[in-house]
């Protein structure tokens, strides 16, 4: 057991994550994405003082997090990362220290499954099944008419 623990500790360490790791690169990446979204969309909701409202965090607290000045609840950080993944950004690009070969955004051709995608596909399936059932019922009614008349 101890060998396995040491093996995995070494694997983690060799990937750039030591025991006393400073994850200050993550807030920098979040800040970069936030600026990109604001620039691309021209939507003021992507300004830090407004964006923090989505997560129920005070503007000052959020600003400190983005500038790596104060510890922030891991829940807020994960919510922000999840939100960015819904916007097409790759969470692995955000959290991997060495992300040079990790794509920042998902390409249009990549399959990204999230609740919105699944819900939309399911709703379309339900509509198609109902439509097919209606067509089947009409065909059966016509068949019955033809054989009884």
Contact assessment for residue 24 and residue 67, using Cβ atoms and an 8 Å cutoff:
no
What pLDDT score does 112 carry? 55
Calculate the alpha carbon distances from 141 to 67, 132, 144 in Å.
Answer: 69, 14, 5
What pLDDT score does 111 carry? 54
What pLDDT score does 120 carry? 79
Residue 88 CB burial class (10 angstroms; 0-12, 13-18, ≥19)? middle
Tokens of 81: 């990362």
What pLDDT score does 80 carry? 92
What pLDDT score does 38 carry? 93
What pLDDT score does 122 carry? 82
Predicted TM-score (pTM) of the model is 0.64
Tokens of 135: 């067509």
What pLDDT score does 53 carry? 93
Residue ranges of the chain whose pLDDT lies below 50: 109
Vertex 16 angle, CA 14 and 19, to 5°: 90
Rounded CA separation 52/60 (Å): 9
What pLDDT score does 89 carry? 94
Residue 105 CB burial class (10 angstroms; 0-12, 13-18, ≥19)? middle
Q: What phi and psi, each to the nearest 5 degrees, are found at residue 105?
A: -125, 155
Shortest CA distance to 57 belongs to which of 28, 78, 37?
78
What pLDDT score does 43 carry? 92
């Amino acid at each position: 057991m101890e060998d396995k623990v040491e093996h995995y500790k070494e694997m983690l360490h060799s990937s750039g994550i030591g025991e006393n790791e400073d994850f200050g690169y993550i807030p920098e990446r979040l800040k970069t994405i936030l600026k990109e979204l604001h620039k691309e969309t021209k939507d003021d909701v992507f300004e830090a003082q407004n964006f923090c409202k989505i997560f129920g965090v005070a503007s000052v607290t959020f600003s400190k997090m983005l500038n790596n000045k104060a510890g922030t609840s891991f829940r807020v950080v994960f919510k922000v990362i999840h939100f960015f993944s819904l916007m097409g950004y790759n969470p692995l690009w955000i959290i991997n220290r060495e992300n040079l070969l990790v794509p920042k955004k998902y390409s249009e051709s990549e399959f990204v499954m999230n609740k919105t995608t699944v819900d939309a596909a399911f709703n379309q399936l339900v509509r198609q099944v109902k439509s097919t059932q209606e067509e089947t019922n009409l065909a059966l009614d016509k068949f019955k008419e033809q054989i009884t008349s």
